[in-house]
Amino acid sequence: MDDKKTNSGENKPEVKAPEISSPEKESPVDRIRHLTQKQMAALGCGLFALLILAGGFYFYAVDRPSLSGKVTISVPKEATGTYIADMLEKKGVIKSSEMFRFYMRILGDGTKLQSGVYSMHQGLSIREAAQELKSGKADTVTVTIPEGSTVRQMGEIFAKSGIAGTPDFVKEASTYGPLPYMYGPVAAPVKGEGFLFADTYSFPLDYTARQICDVMYKRTNEMLTPEIRREAEAKHMTLHDLITIASMVEREAKFKEDQVPIASVILKRLEVGMPLQIDATVQYALGAQKEELTVADTKIDSPYNTYIHPGLPPGPIGSPGMEAIRAVLKAQPGEYLYYVAKEDGHHVFTKTYDEHRAETETIYGSSS
């Protein structure tokens, strides 16, 4: 068996299969190198067109119309991009509404435009106009309401402000009263009188009369702190009465140092059941500020005439400041029942009517 020969025992040379190399991946440069002339021409045209489009887009994004004024742009809450773009072009803020819409679509910023009233320069680029409307920095107007102002006087101030809702302010303030302590035993003809806090405000130009009133009522509610409410309650005084008395003090006292003494006289007269005879209430009833009241003025038939009606008037005669409110809380019914204003605006306080007449004659002469 060991001597048996097989073919495998022959020493034949080994034949190897030829190696097949895998093709290498082409780089972008190789692909361009292998393009035909037609393909190269097409690619070049495409790139050129893209550059033209990009250049035109940039040109319109920064291009400005030749106007240089200032206009008011009102953007409603539900305004569409088309509405805004058309309005901007119509008012000369931008040059092309179509490019504005295209610009906003490319950037995906169409939904980021903020509603409001804007005072915008004419001649802005599309990019500048879009940035301004995306900022949400709508124009506001600063309005200062002096202490002691009536609703009618506030209406005159607001009429000069340019705020959208100002023509309806007096009507809204007369009929809209959301604060529960605004109401006394007798209905006041102007609900908001005295309760629209006198202060400096910044209102957006598109605010309605209701929104203006809400801001001012909110300020009143904030200023009547828990401490003030506790002090009023300790004096057995409602917030309505507190504001009513403070409004008279505000109008009567030209100087702050007279506020507490005048408040004391009012509280003393209420305590003894004596008519208040506050000139400022008669002037409110007359609807005019007079240097000197006549006897006929003091007889005017009005619930606000404290010469003929005892007790407090139906409500405040203006919006008092915090110092007048605190003066009422600080005051106590004292010994003085009368006061008369000197020519410099300060007051002289007296206990009896005879003393009061004597001081009046000293200041104004015996004919007074």
Q: What is the pLDDT of residues 10-58, one digit of tens each?
A: 454 554 555 545 555 556 555 555 556 656 556 556 655 555 555 554 4
Q: Are 173 and 191 in contact (CB under 8 A)?
A: yes
Share of the chain above pLDDT 70, in %: 79
- At residue 37, the 3 state secondary structure works out as helix
Confidence class of residue 60 from pLDDT cuts 50, 70 and 90? very low
Of 105, 68, 66, nearest to 85 by C-alpha is: 105
pLDDT at 199: 97
pLDDT of residue 39: 60
Eight-class DSSP state of 115: P
Which of 53-57, 199-203, 254-258, 364-368 comes out lowest in average pLDDT?
Answer: 53-57
Token representation of residue 127: 């990019």
- pLDDT, tens digit, for every residue of 258-272? 999 999 999 999 999
Q: 74 pLDDT band (50/70/90 cuts)?
A: confident
- Per-residue DSSP letter, 28: H
Choose between 282 and 10: higher pLDDT. 282
* pTM, full prediction: 0.70
Pure H helices in 279-321: 279-286
Q: How confident is the model at residue 133 (pLDDT cuts 50, 70, 90)?
A: confident
Residue 10: predicted pLDDT: 46
Cα 139 to Cα 118: distance, rounded to the nearest angstrom? 5
Q: Which residues contact 184 (CB under 8 A, 6 or more apart)?
A: 238, 240, 241, 244, 312, 314, 315
**pLDDT for 68:** 63
**What pLDDT is recorded for position 116?**
78
Mean pLDDT of 173-181: 96
Q: How far apart (Å, rounded) are the C-alpha atoms in residues 330 and 346? A: 20
Q: Is the pLDDT of residue 75 over 90?
A: no
- In this prediction, residue 340 carries a pLDDT of 95
Q: List the helix and strand counts (H, then E) for the chain.
A: 14, 6
Strands (E), the chain: 70-75, 116-121, 140-144, 200-204, 338-341, 347-350
- Considering only 43-57, 83-97, 148-162, 344-358, which range has the smallest mean pLDDT? 43-57
The tokens 């009896």 sit on which residue? 352
